[in-house]
Amino acid sequence: MEKTQGWLSILGANPDVFYKHLFDVETPKYGAGRPSSWPLGHEMEYECRLGDMILCSKVREAYEVGFRGKKRDKPTAMEQLLGGTGDAVRVRRIAKVEQVSCDNCGLHLADADKPGGRFFYYCRQCKRSGRRFELCVACHVLEILQGEGKYSGNSFHPHYLKCQHRSTLIRRQSLENAYLDSPHLHRVLCDMCGGVVVGRGASDQCAKDGGSGGLPSKNRKGQELNDPHKKFYILASEFYACAHCPEQTGLRFELCVPCHNRISESGRGIQQLETTL
């Protein structure tokens, strides 16, 4: 309690009772941090970040002669709409690098034995792991834009200081439903645990059991890994978005369902305790 009062006196705030316990830590750290440090979700076995994406103008600048790496087939129109959440069902093939295409939109970018071609980004972390992942310049810009409106400071998100947990958070089934004027957004990271809720690399811990797909997320992902040829997509997980933050602070605020539920349970417990004192 002393820590809580200390933080609140420093910040000069009186937050909702549902959030007060979040301030009762030595070094509070909530959310995903700066977008440059966000995991891109290229593969489940390791983490790639924006700093791992290297700009090239030729295939041989990215891959040496004889390099062989696993790369997914080009995405179908449906897989493009899924924003990377259908990656697990795309067949991977291992071969020498003769040409490069965008893993996000499928655009052909360059050939190893032909002049010309487009600038592209390749992932050095994937290359180190014997995999391949490339983006066209436009899709790389789109990746950067995923941080639009997200809080990246070292202190508390303004939501925890100014908004009411029960009245401002609205459950959303999709990004389109939450942000009608931002069709370029395809990723949600929780402003509590920092996990990816929607988009490429969606975290198991952030997915709601039963989700919109009817199966627990762990079962869905396990099914894809055991049978990668089966067309079974991970549907976007539901999340909670604050309706007031964009208007009041110009920031987005999102919570995965488990974090929202944990905050709700803790807040109700605090309320019951206060009423008995």
The answer as to whether 164 is a domain residue is yes
Between 147 and 154, name the one with better pLDDT: 147
Q: Are residues 76 and 206 in the same domain?
A: no
Phi, psi of 174 (to 5 degrees): -160, 165
CA distance 41 to 125: 11
The answer as to whether 43 is a domain residue is no
Q: Are residues 25 and 158 in the same domain?
A: yes
Q: Above 90 in pLDDT, residue 263? A: yes
Q: Print the SS3 string covering the chain.
A: CHHHHHHHHHHCCCCCCCCHHHHCCCCCCCCCCCHHHCCCCCCCCCCCCHHHEEEECCHHHHCCCCCEEEEECCCCHHHHHCCCCCHHHCCEEEEECCEEECCCCCCEEEECCCCCCCCEEEEHHHHHCCECCEEEHHHHHHHHHHHCCCCCCCCCCHHHHHCCHHHHEEEECCHHHHCCCCCCCCCEECCCCCCEEECCCCCHHHCCCCCCCCCCHHHHHHHHHHCCCCCCCCCCCCEEEECCHHHHCCCCCEEEHHHHHHHHHHHHHHHHHHHHC
What is the residue-averaged pLDDT of the chain?
Answer: 82
Please answer whether residues 151 and 192 qualify as being in contact, where contact means their C-beta atoms are separated by less than 8 angstroms.
no
Q: Are residues 152 and 139 in the same domain?
A: no
Q: Above 50 in pLDDT, residue 62? A: yes
Range of lowest pLDDT (45-59, 195-209, 255-269): 195-209
Please answer whether residues 7 and 164 qualify as being in contact, where contact means their C-beta atoms are separated by less than 8 angstroms.
no
The answer as to whether 109 is a domain residue is yes
Total tally of structural domains belonging to the chain: 2
Boundary residue ending a domain (145, 164, 186): 145
Sheet with 254-256, edge to edge strand ranges: 169-172, 239-242, 254-256
Boundary residue ending a domain (145, 175, 205): 145
Q: Are residues 56 and 101 in the same domain?
A: yes
The answer as to whether 102 is a domain residue is yes
Range of lowest pLDDT (81-85, 153-157, 262-266): 81-85
Q: Are residues 205 and 224 in the same domain?
A: yes
Average pLDDT for 18-47: 87
Q: Are residues 154 and 245 in the same domain?
A: yes
The answer as to whether 36 is a domain residue is no
Which residues form the domain of 126? 50-145
